[in-house]
Every structure is written in C-alpha cells, then in structure tokens.
Structure 1
Amino acid sequence: MTYQDVFVEFWKQVKGSIENQTFAKLTMAKTIGKPELKNIFLRPIYDKDDFKVMLKYSFRPREVEDIEEELTLEESLTIVKSHLKTHFLSVILFSTVKDVTFKVNNKGMGSISESHPTFKNVIQA
C-alpha cells in the first residue's frame, strides 16, 4: 500500500478523534535534512457548531518568529499533505485516548502505530 493510502486511514482517525472531542494535538515531525521549518503543530479550537485548528509553523532559528493561523480541518489537511514526504516523514496524532503515529519510510511506504496517550486533557489553542 502506498503512503498516501495509509495516510487516508490515518486521517480518518484524526477526524474520529475530533468527532469524539478527544483530539489534543497533531504534530509533523522527523524533518528531512536540516530545514528552517522545524515542526508544524495543529491545536484544536472547539466551538458549539464548528471545529477549527490553530496551525503553527515552528522554525529552527530563534530569530525567525513562529507563524500561527486559524484554519478549517480541510484547509489544514491540504497543508499537512503538502509537507508530507517533502519536509516531514511522520505525523503524530495526540488524543486523550491514544497516540497514533503515521510514518513514511525510505521506500515511500506508510505505516501506522499506536501507543498510550500523552495527553489526559484537551487544551484548546
């Protein structure tokens, strides 16, 4: 299975955690090379009728200020997908139920693994 197919399965888990209001954070990690962009984080913004995320670009040189923007989940998906396998090789979903890690290996194959939750509570952006 290609990494794109596995990522679709991973993103279903992201959506499920949002629907269950257990989504705590999403982090893109394991950079390719030594880029200035160190991480991309998504934090939840739960509203009565809507769900958005605060997307944060974190940079390596301390002189470069982090960038934050409020987006819909679909808008954030576009950004996450555009950085996958170009800047980052893994995406970690932190929920209050479990942590789910999506990874792309050197051969372009994707995998999903699960572990105990890091977060006990959801902290909104």
Structure 2
Amino acid sequence: MPYQTIFVEFYDQIISSINQGTFAKLTLAKTMGDTELKNIYVRLHLLETGEYNFALTLKYKTEEIEHFHSVDEAFTVLSSYIKNPFTTALLFTTEMDLTFKVNKKNAGSLTEQMPTFKNASPVMLEMIEKGIIKL
C-alpha cells in the first residue's frame, strides 16, 4: 500500500492518542543516507488560549531549531519529511508504541509494540488536568 495512505492512518493515531490522553512522544528517525538533519522530535505545546499545537524540534548535526505548528500544519510539515530524509516515525503512547516505516518500494507499514512510556507527556497531563482534553 502506498506510504502516503499509511501515513494518514499513522497521523490519525497521533490525534487519537491526544484525544484519549495517552500521547507521550513522537519522533522521526532513520534517515536515508548521511544527512545534516538527524531527527525531528514532536511534543505538545499548550497555548494561552487553552488550545494546543505542536512544537517540532529539528535536530541537525550542529544545531537544533524549534518550530511551532497547528495540528493541520504539522501533518503537512511532517509528511514532507517522509522519504526526505526519514523512513521511520515512532509514536509513543501509554497504551502502545506505533512505528510507521516506508521501504524502498514506497510501501508503508505500521507496527504496534508494547508501550515504552508509562506516563503521558507532562503537557498532555496538564491538558487533562485543565479539562482541555475531556476523557
């Protein structure tokens, strides 16, 4: 199956984990070749308005740059990095770890594993506490 379709499913799982209060962390990793950009770390960022967006930290060989994006913008930005240069994205939740991979034939796959984290991210817990996310 084309990786774009699978990435949409993966992103839906990210949003679902936020709505369920289980989101811990999101990382793009495993680059194609030796690239300047090494990882992208995604975390929740709470806004003063009581809403949230995503903070994307782009880790290069020599520096880190942080960008903030709405939920919709983050999908577009993150999907632009798939196969350019990243082949793997990892969603960590308190219920499971979900790995998105794209292979050389442009086929995407999702693999579910036991959770690495026992607790949701601190911002996720704050969002639950403030009633931004209703469980």
Match of 1:57 in 2: 58
Question: Structure 2 length normalisation: TM-score?
Answer: 0.83
- Separation (CA, whole Å) in 2 of partners of 1:24 and 1:85: 24
- Report the residue type matching 1:68 in the other structure: E
Q: Tell me, which stretches of 5 or more residues in structure 2 are unaligned?
A: 124-135
Q: Please state if 1:101 is matched with 2:99.
A: yes
SS of the equivalent of 1:16 reads helix
Q: Does 1:82 align with 2:80?
A: yes
- Identify unmatched segments of 5+ residues in structure 1: none
> For 2:43 and 2:122, how far apart are their aligned partners in 1?
6
Quick one: which amino acid aligns to residue 58 of structure 1? K
Using the aligned pairs only, state the percent identity. 43
Q: Check the 8 A contact 1:24/1:95 in 2, yes or no.
A: yes
Could you give the per-residue CA deviations for residues 6-36 of structure 1, whole angstroms, max 9, x where no partner exists?
1111111111001112111110011011001
Tell me how far apart the structure 1 counterparts of residues 13 and 83 of structure 2 sit (CA, whole Å).
Answer: 20
Deviations 1:62-103 (A, max 9, x none): xx2201122212121111111101110011101111100000
Aligned to 1:69: 67
* Number of equivalent positions: 122
After superposing on structure 2, the runs of 4+ consecutive aligned residues of structure 1 that deviate more than 2 Å are 45-49, 122-125
Deviation, 1:46, is 4.4
Inter-partner Cα distance in structure 2 for 1:46 and 1:22: 16
Q: Give the counterpart of 2:121 among 96, 120, 123.
A: 123
